[in-house]
Amino acid sequence: MIRTKAFLARSVGRLSRATGRGGGTTLPGRVLLKLDSDAISKLGSRLTGGVTLISATNGKTTTASMLATILAGAGREPVHNRAGSNMTWGVATALLEQKGSEGLFEVDEAWLPEVADRLRPRTILLGNLFRDQLDRYGETEALADAWAELASRLAGETGFVLNADDPLVADIGKTSGPGTVFFGIDDESQALPELQHAHDAKLCRVCGHELTYDRAFVGHLGHYHCEHCGMRRPNPDITATAITLNGMNGLTATVNSPEGEARLELPLPGLYNLYNALGAIATARELGVSVAEAVASLAGMKAVFGRVERIEIDDVSLSILLIKNPAGANEVIRTLALEPAPIDLWIALNDRIADGRDVSWIWDADFEMLADRVGSVTCTGTRASEMALRLKYAGWPVENVIVEEDAEAALDRALSGAGGKLFALPTYTALLDLRNLLAERGDTERYWEG
Amino acid sequence: MKLRLLSLYPDQMNIYADRGNILFLQHRCEWRGIDFEVTRCGPGDRFDPGDHDLLYMGGGQDRDQKAVAGDLIESKQASMRAAKEGGAAILAVCGGYQLLGESYELEGETIEGLGLVDLKTVREPGPRLIGPVAIEVDLDGEPKVLAGFENHGGRTRLGNCSPLGKVIHGHGNNGEDGFEGVREDNLIGTYLHGPLLPKNAWLADHLIATGLEHHHGERPELEPLDDGLEDAAHRAALTAARKG
């Protein structure tokens, strides 16, 4: 029966793409799940080489892409929801449309327990939890509770790879069983001068008292302990030291593991991408790929859809950096701050369901850091005016900030005002719109063909 | 002139980017040549009600809210009461709003509130009340609109006190009686959370004027500012609420 249902669902996807209606990355899965709500378990049982799931607030798509790159370097091609569609129907679509013996899926934070219960993964990598779309996900603490419950259900059966530097994630190690692997950053020189405002892990998960931070690297990710109950950051099995950040061009670091030292040259910028890389390397090791092989593959890593993607349009080099929550936006801002001024920007703020209807979060992101470095700024999207308002109160020169709600007109204005480089900062649905717009203009391929 | 703001639990009660409100007030004072002073008041800290003209308390996760509730009563209740009676402006948002009342019942537990206003909040079964919201408010004889976003599990019911406004779009205090928030003396509590002032510049200016009146004894006429972007952001928030 599952074969007939799968055939029907696949046909719908082909038809949708052939008629140019789009949505090909989720529609077949949606149809299939309507026909059979347990289709994921049935199709997933064919993945005899095991399934790896990746979840986090920030970096799911990039981390999964890194791991896919590493596995490809070892001659392995997992079934992978590479277009970033990461709820049940996106996973179902990948299962329908790709052949392979192992699975690699990024999964939405809130959907992780359901997908994991159905797929019974061999490995789960958990990267971070930040405040994000509170209207959709609810409180960060509640997600951490749900993940910890999942870990106790799967302990012994599933290997967990956890970020030691995120107290909300590392805490899951209490229930995830022996063999849990931790990764983290061990380079004090990369610490933030102070804890950022948008800070999501203030209280000890064990005793509820305030955490003490010796240093933080990204948001609340760092070295912490509880003075009250003695809870400490776990000692990571895989660490990064001797880190050098090279602006938008990437970074280098030494990766230390039980296999010894390896030098990582990552062509993606920012400490947040180093965390993604450490997670991918630690997980790859669990899947039988050595750290030396993993770092060699990562050196050839390409950016993925909307995550530091670069597109040449006439004489302007357009870089696209997704922003969707304070912690992620702050890392984008921190990376941009290393660029030579003036920095020309196209910023798109939408309030559709997939963006989170609530745009409050822009007031938590530290746009102040770029105030004296920006050139021409164009704001677009359904909430363009609130974005521009945020920038005004962040001290950006208002005379350089234009509100243009039409995305295409805004893009033309931004491209013509840019001095060689343009940085596009879209929220999620604005990223999809931008990508389709660029495809229509012939600047890129449609994303599901990429 | 000088406006003295007291920021209550800025590290605990800030879940929806509450600092946007303080930033907004600060710039609007400074652009008018009004000195602006912020005092942070965290767990264990006490304050002198005569030293502050505008008190702000934002929203927090359940865990943070429980953690501050006891401290609020222990170290700040008397000062809060005196500040309200003395005519200071008080703005409490979301979780902060709930803590102004008599109590908040959730998961079989009753958190005692400040008891500054006669209202109670209960986490009843049913979905959280989430979405864009717009309410009609009449603070000084001229009805105006507040637009923003609400996200709360608790249902608040008012006793012997007045709501802040009537719900035009959205849920309001409990999704049933059509009222939103609370207002008494110069105290305002509302579920319109996080940075509601940037979307409602008129309320920010109302609070500034009330605070200055508290400090200097006379309500000033505030110098108008170029509010083109502020007005556009208000209209966009209102459009979002209208669409639901």
A71-99 burial, b at 16+ Cβ within 10 Å, e below that, comes to bebeebebbbbbbbbbbbbbbbbbbbbee
Distance in Å, alpha carbon of A360 to nearest chain B alpha carbon: 6
Helices (H), chain B: 19-30, 62-85, 95-100, 201-216, 228-243
Other CB atoms within 10 Å distance of the CB of residue A419: 12
Is B151 close to A390, i.e. CB distance below 8 A? no
* Of the partner residues B151, B236, B237, the one whose CB lies closest to the CB of residue A134: B151
Q: Does B149 touch chain A (CB under 8 A)?
A: yes
Global confidence as pTM:
0.86
Is A139 close to B17, i.e. CB distance below 8 A? no
| Residue reference for tokens 């950051």 | A233
Closest CA to A92 of A79, A110, A76, A101: A79
Task: Answer whether residue A30 is part of any domain.
Answer: no
What is the spatial distance between Cα B27 and Cα B15, in angstroms, rounded to a whole number?
A: 22
Same domain membership, residue A80 and residue A60 = yes
What is the spatial distance between Cα B34 and Cα B223, in angstroms, rounded to a whole number?
A: 10
* Of the partner residues A138, A202, A364, the one whose CB lies closest to the CB of residue B17: A364
For residue B198, whether the previous peptide bond is cis, meaning omega lies within 30 degrees of 0, is no
Cα angle: A49, vertex A51, A56; to 5 degrees: 155
Given B152, B171, B193, B214, the catalytic residue: B193
**pLDDT of amino acid A29:** 80
**Chain B environment of A138 (Cβ under 8 Å):** 128
Is B230 close to A389, i.e. CB distance below 8 A? yes
ipTM above 0.90, yes or no: yes
Closest CA to B183 of B137, B135, B129: B137
Same domain membership, residue A325 and residue A287 = no
Is A141 close to B12, i.e. CB distance below 8 A? no
Which residue positions in chain B have pLDDT lower than 50?
A: none
Same domain membership, residue A130 and residue A93 = yes
Task: Answer whether residue A31 is part of any domain.
Answer: no
Residue B193 falls in the annotated catalytic set? yes
Q: What is the DSSP string of B22-69?
A: HHHHHHHHHTTT-EEEEEEE-TT----GGG-SEEEE----HHHHHHHH
Same domain membership, residue A267 and residue A318 = no
Same domain membership, residue A319 and residue A279 = no
**Chain A environment of B12 (Cβ under 8 Å):** 202
**pLDDT of amino acid A196:** 66
What is the spatial distance between Cα B147 and Cα B136, in angstroms, rounded to a whole number?
A: 9
What is the spatial distance between Cα A305 and Cα A302, in angstroms, rounded to a whole number?
A: 10
Q: What domain range includes position A382?
A: 307-449
What is the spatial distance between Cα B148 and Cα B215, in angstroms, rounded to a whole number?
A: 29
Is B236 close to A385, i.e. CB distance below 8 A? yes
Phi, psi of A426 (to 5 degrees): -100, 150
Is B232 close to A389, i.e. CB distance below 8 A? yes
Same domain membership, residue A428 and residue A404 = yes
**Chain B environment of A220 (Cβ under 8 Å):** none
* Of the partner residues B27, B62, B233, the one whose CB lies closest to the CB of residue A386: B233
What is the spatial distance between Cα A421 and Cα B86, in angstroms, rounded to a whole number?
A: 56
**pLDDT of amino acid B61:** 82
What is the spatial distance between Cα A303 and Cα A292, in angstroms, rounded to a whole number?
A: 21
**Chain A environment of B132 (Cβ under 8 Å):** 351, 357-358
Q: Which of A281, A298, A315 is the last residue of a domain?
A: A298
Task: Answer whether residue A11 is part of any domain.
Answer: no
Same domain membership, residue A376 and residue A252 = no
**pLDDT of amino acid A421:** 94
Q: How far is C-alpha A367 from the chain's CA centre? A: 20
Same domain membership, residue A260 and residue A183 = yes
- B137, B143 in Cβ contact below 8 A? yes
User: Sign (positive/negative) of CA torsion B9, B14, B20, B21?
Assistant: negative
**pLDDT of amino acid A8:** 77
Task: Answer whether residue A148 is part of any domain.
Answer: yes
Please count the residues of chain A: 450
Same domain membership, residue A178 and residue A127 = yes
Distance in Å, alpha carbon of A244 to nearest chain B alpha carbon: 32
Q: Does B166 touch chain A (CB under 8 A)?
A: no
pLDDT in tens, chain A (450 residues): 677 888 877 877 776 666 655 556 678 888 878 778 788 888 889 999 999 999 999 999 999 999 999 999 999 999 999 877 888 888 988 998 899 999 999 999 999 999 999 999 999 999 999 988 777 767 788 899 999 999 999 999 999 999 999 999 999 999 998 899 999 999 999 998 877 655 677 789 889 888 999 999 998 999 999 999 999 999 999 999 999 998 888 899 999 999 999 999 999 989 999 999 999 999 999 999 999 999 999 998 876 656 667 788 888 999 999 999 998 899 899 989 988 999 999 999 999 988 999 999 999 999 999 999 999 999 999 999 999 999 999 999 999 999 999 999 999 999 999 989 999 999 999 999 998 899 888 877 544 433
Q: How far is residue A311 from each of residues A303, A308, A343, B52, measured CA to CA in Å? A: 11, 10, 17, 53
- A346, A375 in Cβ contact below 8 A? no
Q: Does B229 touch chain A (CB under 8 A)?
A: yes
Count of structural domains, chain A: 2
Same domain membership, residue A166 and residue A96 = yes
**Chain B environment of A140 (Cβ under 8 Å):** 61
Specify the CATH number for the domain of residue A82. 3.40.1190.10
Given B29, B41, B52, B94, the catalytic residue: B94
Chains A, B: CB contacts under 8 A, how many?
99
Task: Answer whether residue A19 is part of any domain.
Answer: no
Specify the CATH number for the domain of residue A347. 3.90.190.20
Same domain membership, residue A276 and residue A396 = no
**pLDDT of amino acid B28:** 98
Residue B94 falls in the annotated catalytic set? yes
**Chain A environment of B233 (Cβ under 8 Å):** 383, 385-386, 388-389
Closest CA to A248 of A334, A172, A312, A316: A334
Helices (H), B86-178: 95-100
Distance in Å, alpha carbon of A202 to nearest chain B alpha carbon: 8
| Secondary structure element (H or E) that encloses residue A167, with its range | helix A167-170
**Chain A environment of B193 (Cβ under 8 Å):** 360
Task: Answer whether residue A100 is part of any domain.
Answer: yes
Task: Answer whether residue A75 is part of any domain.
Answer: yes
Task: Parse chain B into domains and list their residue ranges.
Answer: 2-243
Other CB atoms within 10 Å distance of the CB of residue A413: 17
- B173, B155 in Cβ contact below 8 A? yes
**Chain B environment of A384 (Cβ under 8 Å):** 236
**pLDDT of amino acid A308:** 67
Distance in Å, alpha carbon of A423 to nearest chain B alpha carbon: 23
Architecture of domain B2-243: 3-Layer(aba) Sandwich (3.40)
Q: Does B67 touch chain A (CB under 8 A)?
A: yes
Distance in Å, alpha carbon of B149 to nearest chain A alpha carbon: 6
A359, A367, A398: best to mutate for the B interface, most B CBs within 10 A: A359
For residue B89, give the 3-state DSSP assignment. Answer: strand
Question: At how many degrees (to 10) do helices A407-417 and A428-440 cross?
Answer: 80
Is A358 close to B198, i.e. CB distance below 8 A? no
**pLDDT of amino acid A447:** 46
Distance in Å, alpha carbon of A108 to nearest chain B alpha carbon: 20
**pLDDT of amino acid A343:** 96
Task: Answer whether residue A372 is part of any domain.
Answer: yes
Same domain membership, residue A327 and residue A184 = no
**pLDDT of amino acid A449:** 36
Q: Looking at the DSSP assignment, which residues form a beta bridge with residue B132? A: B149
